[in-house]
Amino acid sequence: MNRLPKLIALALCLAAPAAAHVGSPDVYYEGSAGPYHLFVTIRVPQVVPGVAEIEVRSQSADMRRVRMVPLRITGPGSEYSPAPDVAEQSKADPQFFSGSLWLMEFGALQVRILVDGARGSGECSVPVLAEAQRVIPMQKPLGAILAVLMALLAAGLVTIACAGAREATLDPGADPDRRNRRRGRVAMSVAAAVVLAAIVLGNQWWSVAAASYARHVYSNPAVTAELEPGQRLVLRSNDTAWIEGVRRQPLIADHNHLMHLFLIRTPAMDRFWHLHPHEDGPGAFAVGLPGVPPGHYRIFADIVHSNGFPETLVSAIDIPAGSQAPADAMLTGDDSTAEAPALEETGADMRVSTFLDGSGRMVWESPASPLKARVASEFRFRVDDSSGQPASDLQPYMGMTVHAEIVRSDCAVFAHVHPAGSVSMAALELANSVVPDATVMPGMIMSSDSQRLDPEVSFPYGFPQAGRYRMFVQVKRRGDVETGVFDAQAR
């Protein structure tokens, strides 16, 4: 009986997008819709179906109207658009628009944003993933209130059935005789049995509904990590359902790689690797470890499916002493590494990071005001050369001006972000493949690595929870990947 109120609580199940992140559900995006440069924040719905809260800020003041519509990223659902909803323009800030959208289905979705203004119209699509993540238990006071109401309702039904059978045929003011009283008792017994059966069946229905919902609850795929002879790291999943899902929706390249693997030594977070394994059979990936010192490492590995569904595989491994590859083992291709001082829980933000090879430094130019959780920010960094002047030798790194990995001190939050924000670039390309004049992805450098870039790089993001964070900000200079390491406290 105490579980029946949970029938009403089914709508309280919390859902969040299953992005290529861990514990970072909200979507932050920066890019252009035609002639208008936008900063978009999508607050994920708490139920699926559920309402996503969307904020759009324009860089210019000549945008007049913003409309929004949810669609599938791929397939028939991406082609037939329902009528878009109109965002409300702020009276206090005409460059700010806000609105809400119903997301009615699970999976890889997009929010298409259509804008109109003095310079004409434009549109862009932002990938959004809707997957149930967990269920919030009912609050005890609410459960108690619903239990009392249920008891009163049950008692009322039984009482009404008894009184109706006993007195329905009596004349006004007449007292029920023995036969009528017996009829009332029989009706009360039958009504009580019916109410009790409804409660029992309702409880069973709740269990079935909860189990069905639980099958939709998403968690980042867990894989086992093994260190094979020759310092060969192998990630392997034994989840047959997940492996079958990979067969149905094969992996696609993101920045020219099927997987981006990040290896972080914990708890100090003083060693970091960005590697690119290859497939090694169904549900398995392998990569050679170049000179990884002993310690306990957390593993985060990003992949993207052909339907635009990004995932992060999570695992951990202990590297024993004496097992690492030779110290002179070389990184190849786009692989990179970084060293940093141990993470300190001081609460102070670290604003300058000196490159270990002495070639310069990276400076965090974000405002000095305290960072707040779930508040969108523009993270800006400047790269200086060894003389302290802005560097003139930056090059594209896997087609981007900057890659950044953000990890909370307890590893409960991990995000891989780019100049376009927290969205997967492969999913973003799929979502914008049908958008006019959207052939160039935000932040993507469509030229050779010989191009010299501006010494200032940036990306949008918002810390999902309060806590201590370490940011690994990666750029490429003179053919080498440099990593600035910064600590930040979100309040």
* Arithmetic mean of pLDDT over the chain: 87
Give the pLDDT of residue 131: 80
User: Can you tell me which residue has the tokens 């635009």?
Assistant: 308
- Reported as a pLDDT band with limits 50, 70 and 90, residue 17 is very low
Sorted by where each begins, the domain ranges of the chain are 11-135, 139-214, 224-490
Strand, coil or helix: 159: helix
Q: Is 343 left (phi over 0), alpha (psi -120 to 50) or beta?
A: beta
The residue ranges of DSSP E strands in 252-309, in sequence order, are 260-266, 271-275, 278-279, 284-288, 295-304
Per-residue pLDDT, averaged over 26-43, amounts to 95
Contact, 274 vs 260, CB < 8 A? yes
Per-residue pLDDT, averaged over 347-374, amounts to 86
Give the pLDDT of residue 435: 65
5 pLDDT above the threshold of 60: no
DSSP output for 329-388: PPP-TT-EEEE-PPP----PPP-EEE-TTSSEEEEE-S-SSPB-TT--EEEEEEEEETTS
pLDDT in tens, 177-203: 888 889 889 989 999 999 999 999 998
Per-residue pLDDT, averaged over 287-306, amounts to 93
209 pLDDT above the threshold of 60: yes
Per-residue pLDDT, averaged over 263-269, amounts to 96
306 pLDDT above the threshold of 50: yes
171 pLDDT above the threshold of 90: no
Give the pLDDT of residue 49: 81
Top-confidence residue, 367 or 356: 356
- Sheet of strand 284-288: strand arrangement: 224-228, 232-236, 284-288, 278-279
360 pLDDT above the threshold of 60: yes
Six-digit token pair at 328? 């002179």
Give the pLDDT of residue 453: 87
330 pLDDT above the threshold of 80: no
Give the pLDDT of residue 450: 57
Measured CA to CA, the distance from residue 116 to residue 97 in angstroms comes to 12
Give the pLDDT of residue 6: 41
77 pLDDT above the threshold of 80: no
CATH of domain 11-135: 2.60.40.10
Contact, 302 vs 19, CB < 8 A? no
Give the pLDDT of residue 329: 59
Give the pLDDT of residue 37: 96
13 pLDDT above the threshold of 50: no
Give the pLDDT of residue 44: 84
pLDDT in tens, 88-134: 999 999 999 999 999 888 889 999 999 999 999 999 999 998 887 66
Give the pLDDT of residue 218: 76
79 pLDDT above the threshold of 50: yes
pLDDT in tens, 378-427: 999 999 999 999 999 999 999 999 999 999 999 999 999 999 999 999 99
174 pLDDT above the threshold of 60: yes
Measured CA to CA, the distance from residue 172 to residue 390 in angstroms comes to 98
346 pLDDT above the threshold of 70: no
Alpha carbon dihedral 266, 268, 272, 278, in 10-degree steps, equals 0
Contact, 105 vs 130, CB < 8 A? yes
Among the listed ranges 206-215, 341-350, 445-454, which one has the minimum average pLDDT value? 445-454
Top-confidence residue, 86 or 50: 86
Q: What is the CA radius of gyration of the chain?
A: 29
